[in-house]
Amino acid sequence: MSERVIPLVDQRLQSLAATVPSTPIAATGLLGDALGRPLRDLRISVTDRCNFRCSYCMPKEVFDKDYPYLPHSALLSFEEITRVARQFVAHGVQKIRLTGGEPLLRKHIEILIEQLAALRTVEGQPLDITLTTNGSLLERKAVALKAAGLRRVTVSLDGLDDTVFRAMNDVDFPVADVLRGIAAAQAAGLGPIKVNMVVKRGTNDHEILPMARHFKGTGIVLRFIEYMDVGATNGWRMDEVMPSAEVVKRIHAELPLVQLDPAAPGETAERWGYADGTGEIGVISSVTQAFCRDCNRARLSTEGKLYLCLFATQGHDLKPLVRGQASDEQLASAIAQIWQGRDDRYSELRASLPPDASTGGRRVEMSYIGG
């Protein structure tokens, strides 16, 4: 049997220089991209490290003990992250999600949360500050995160069967520890909690119903995500994708569902409620049903590169402006210029092409810019 060879290009080295436009672009909170999409959601990666080695994100074959992670000096400081976030908020961002890697591995992340929680939208409202985690450190940190100003958490959990879960995280981490983290977050008031399950056909799709049964009636929203073709290292194959429609059909056969309206404009998840009123699930159909036309998200990498799509091939480097002599007005104008030129719609284009057609250059790894 031949070994799987995974080509790797270090996407951290590929970026465009962010430049200050000759004419300042005022921050009015109404910034739109080339397709008229507003800027409302900023996802900030605070570390490129993770203590799991999930095959669909950070496979052990690539992210081994010799993998060259970014040095601490390359990472944006908490003050620099907050400064950049402030400019995004001035352009209309209302929600900030902290990601990784595993964001709880970043030391003293509570300090960053406190700084971000002090920001206000253009309407003067507090931001929706949330965080995505694998749950491994959540039990010990939940209370401190809530006290710092975090509102909600989303926990990645790909099954309840301990053998399946240990195999998928590939570091033999027990599912019971993640469940205790979820319980601790719920007790601390970090809610409503969402649990994300990436469904990979033939690997964990038999866990769909056990997960639905377990979280039904708990107040926790379970979301099923189609296995995505992110990055270049996860060995993605279309035959391992289980369409969301099939997930809904499986659950509905045992636990009847009714479709719900979207929670907010640009919402990626299609919402379904249990017919008996005991909660809801969501499905994110990033492969079979593109939602590019409503996408209002930008992504900031841990060392200051701005990405306009989860499937981007390169970012725009803001760090020289942040650490140079650029004023806040110039930084805000540079961000506006980048967003105004945004026409990314990878999933829509992929859906219109034959299965074996190319959709551009090698894409950035999800572990680098967060999901």
In angstroms, the CA 217 to CA 215 distance is 6
Largest Cα–Cα distance of the chain, in whole Å?
A: 61
Q: Please say whether the beta carbons of 160 and 195 come within 8 A.
A: no
Close Cβ partners of 257 (under 8 Å, ≥ 6 residues apart) = 248, 251, 272, 273, 274, 275, 281
Tens place of pLDDT per residue across the chain (371 aa): 334 334 444 555 568 999 999 999 999 999 999 999 999 999 999 999 999 998 878 889 889 999 999 999 999 999 999 999 999 999 999 999 999 999 999 999 999 999 999 999 999 999 999 999 999 999 999 999 999 999 999 999 999 999 989 998 999 999 999 999 999 999 999 989 999 999 999 889 999 999 999 999 999 999 999 886 554 544 557 778 899 999 999 999 999 999 999 887 767 789 999 999 999 999 988 777 766 888 999 999 999 999 998 878 889 999 999 999 999 999 999 999 999 999 988 667 765 555 444 445 555 665 667 66
Q: Please say whether the beta carbons of 11 and 67 come within 8 A.
A: no
Measured from the Cβ of residue 350, the count of other Cβ atoms closer than 10 Å reads 18
**Domain regions of the chain by residue span:** 11-369
Our CA angle for 360, 228, 105, nearest 5°, is 105
**274 secondary structure, DSSP code:** E
| Each residue's pLDDT tens digit, 276-298 | 999 999 998 877 776 688 899 99
Q: Please say whether the beta carbons of 300 and 45 come within 8 A.
A: yes
296, HSE (Cβ side, Cα atoms, 13 Å) = 23
In angstroms, the CA 127 to CA 225 distance is 26
Nearest to 42 by CA among 82, 98, 90, 80: 98
Domain 11-369: what homologous superfamily?
Aldolase class I (3.20.20.70)
Q: Alpha-carbon dihedral of residues 240, 7, 366, 337, nearest 10 degrees?
A: -130
73, HSE (Cβ side, Cα atoms, 13 Å) = 0
